[in-house]
Structures are given as structure tokens and as C-alpha cells.
């Protein structure tokens, strides 16, 4: 039995729909037999207030008593709950850059297939326009690059920066994505730390660059899976569906969207 259940304190998971790390965290805990209280803060003032009382303002958060950990990396969750769990082997930084080079063009293709009138609509139970989701795919990588190049903290605000008003159509977003990909290629070509051991400051703690890069690869990949789900819901055949081989090695959730 996991140590978290022996601690005598309830484990709580604060999350919201469409959040990649939230879904992955809940799946991870369930798979490893950790019972938890699920608190969806989206449109839930009481849940959001409980999150703020802990001292946090973004999700996912795993809490026990008045202690909490940001759950952007499962390693931090394992350490926080004292679990005896081993994670899959991490891809190398070069392999992770290769995955991003596959994911971003795929997202650009899918966004151009989504009808214009749908880009302003939310999807399922998340009150966020599909256009904002599409921008976020590319912004995740761009924010990582800004932090890695400039030695600045990878803050929540940096990642969540909203799209410029000019980014309205799928084609606009695709061009933006192509620019981010060009930035990635230029950064990697000049990156002296190919092992990724240099420590970066982030809003979820200090981590080696390879750990932050892994998150900056699987996070947009998961959101791109959500764009695929949107196309499937609209009965539009995706232009070049991402394959299992394309995503192999990335620590993705099993599902594309939360069923709660």
C-alpha cells in the first residue's frame, strides 16, 4: 500500500478540465492505488479559495494537510507522497527536441482544419476558446526558449501569456507556430548544454533543463492530442494523424481529455 495512505491525512488533487498535467497526475495516482479527493477549481469558487489558502494559484496541485506540491513533474509528486514508484526512462534532450519538431507542425496542420467559427468556441467542459488552446501549444515551447536563452525564471505568467490580437485564424496560428519552431532550431543549434544538466528556475521549482524540456515537449503533445480530439468530434479527418511512434517515449496521460 502506498505510504500516502498510511499518513492519516487526506490527499487532495486540485485540477481543471483540459489541463494536461492535471489529467496525468490523477491517472498516475489512480494507477498506483493512491486514494484522493478530486477538486475541480474551474468555475468552483470554494475550490479555488481552498487552493489559495494553501498558497497556490495554479493547478495541478497535490496537497496533504496544509502542505502541497506543484504536480508539473511526477518526480515531485512521488517525493511529496513518499511513493515507491519508478518512472519510465527519460528521452535525451536531442530526442525531446525531435519530438517537438514533430508535434508543432502537426498542431499547425490541425488548427488550419478547424472551421473558423469553432475557433471562438470552448471545447467540452473547459471555458477556453479553441483558438487559445492552439496558441498555448506553441507558447509552451516559446516560453521555455525565452527562459532557457535569457536565464530567467520559467514563470506561470510567462507560459500563459495570451495571444496577440492579430492571431485570429488557423493560418495565423500556424505561422506563429512555424516561428516558434525556427526559434527552437536556432536555440538547439547553439546550445552548449546538450546533456541538459544546467538547472533552471521555474514556478514549480528548480530542475535540470532536461526535465523542463521534457515538460515542454509532452505538454504541447498532449494539447495536440486534444486538437485531434476536436477534429474527430467534428468528423474531420486529421491531416497526418500523430502516430504512437511519433509520441513514443513522452510521459503522456492515457487519455486526451478528463472524463470527470
Q: What is the pLDDT of residue 260?
A: 78
Q: What is the pLDDT of residues 82-130, one digit of tens each?
A: 999 988 899 999 999 999 999 999 999 999 999 999 999 999 999 999 9
Let me know if residue 178 belongs to a domain. Answer: yes
Q: What is the pLDDT of residue 213?
A: 98
Let me know if residue 40 belongs to a domain. Answer: yes
Domain that holds residue 98: 93-247
Q: How does DSSP classify residue 35?
A: -
Same domain, 97 and 204: yes
Q: What is the pLDDT of residues 198-221, one digit of tens each?
A: 999 999 999 999 999 999 999 999
Give me the long-range contacts of 88-91 (CB less than 8 A, separation at least 24): 88/249, 88/251, 90/210, 90/211, 90/214, 91/214, 91/217, 91/249, 91/250
Let me know if residue 76 belongs to a domain. Answer: yes
Same domain, 35 and 99: no
Let me know if residue 30 belongs to a domain. Answer: yes
User: Domain with 190 in it: what CATH number?
Assistant: 1.20.120.450
Q: Which of 228, 247, 224 is nearest to 107 (CA)?
A: 224
Domain final position from 46, 81, 116: 81
Q: Which of 177, 178, 252, 161 is nearest to 215 (CA)?
A: 252
Cell of 240: 497526418
Q: What is the pLDDT of residues 141-193, one digit of tens each?
A: 999 999 999 999 999 999 999 999 999 999 999 999 999 999 999 999 999 99
Domain final position from 53, 81, 109: 81
Let me know if residue 232 belongs to a domain. Answer: yes
Q: What is the pLDDT of residues 25-57, one digit of tens each?
A: 999 999 999 999 999 999 999 999 999 999 998
Same domain, 110 and 225: yes
Same domain, 100 and 211: yes
Let me know if residue 197 belongs to a domain. Answer: yes
User: Domain with 32 in it: what CATH number?
Assistant: 3.40.30.10
Same domain, 41 and 159: no
Structural domain count of the chain:
2
Same domain, 39 and 163: no
Let me know if residue 1 belongs to a domain. Answer: no
Same domain, 74 and 129: no
Domain final position from 57, 81, 105: 81
Average pLDDT value over all residues in the chain: 94
Same domain, 73 and 105: no
Under the phi-then-psi rule, with left for phi > 0, alpha for psi from -120 to 50, and beta for the rest, what region is 33?
A: left
Same domain, 137 and 223: yes
Same domain, 128 and 76: no
Same domain, 127 and 199: yes
pTM over 0.85: yes
Amino acid at each position: 500500500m502506498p505510504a500516502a495512505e498510511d499518513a492519516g491525512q487526506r490527499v487532495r488533487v486540485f485540477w481543471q478540465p483540459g489541463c494536461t498535467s492535471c489529467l496525468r497526475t490523477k491517472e498516475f495516482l489512480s494507477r498506483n492505488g493512491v486514494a484522493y479527493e478530486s477538486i475541480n477549481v474551474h468555475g468552483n469558487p470554494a475550490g479555488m479559495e481552498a487552493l489559495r489558502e494553501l498558497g497556490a494559484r495554479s493547478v495541478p496541485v497535490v496537497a496533504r494537510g496544509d502542505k502541497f506540491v506543484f504536480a508539473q513533474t511526477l518526480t515531485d509528486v512521488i517525493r511529496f507522497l513518499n511513493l515507491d514508484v519508478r518512472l519510465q526512462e527519460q528521452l535525451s534532450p536531442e530526442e525531446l527536441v525531435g519530438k517537438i519538431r514533430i508535434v508543432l507542425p502537426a498542431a499547425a496542420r490541425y488548427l488550419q482544419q478547424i472551421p473558423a467559427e469553432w475557433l471562438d468556441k470552448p471545447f467540452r467542459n473547459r471555458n477556453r476558446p479553441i483558438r487559445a488552446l492552439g496558441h498555448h501549444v506553441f507558447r509552451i515551447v516559446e516560453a521555455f526558449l525565452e527562459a532557457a536563452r535569457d536565464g530567467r525564471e520559467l514563470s506561470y505568467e510567462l507560459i500563459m501569456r495570451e495571444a496577440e490580437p492579430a492571431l485570429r485564424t488557423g493560418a495565423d496560428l500556424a505561422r506563429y507556430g512555424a516561428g516558434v519552431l525556427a526559434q527552437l532550431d536556432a536555440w538547439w543549434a547553439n546550445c552548449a548544454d546538450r546533456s541538459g544538466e544546467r538547472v533552471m528556475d521555474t514556478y514549480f521549482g528548480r530542475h535540470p533543463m532536461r526535465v523542463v524540456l521534457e515538460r515542454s515537449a509532452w505538454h504541447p503533445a498532449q494539447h495536440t492530442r486534444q486538437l485531434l480530439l476536436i477534429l474527430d468530434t467534428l468528423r474531420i479527418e486529421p491531416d497526418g494523424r500523430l502516430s504512437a511512434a511519433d509520441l513514443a517515449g513522452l510521459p503522456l496521460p492515457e487519455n486526451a481529455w478528463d472524463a470527470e
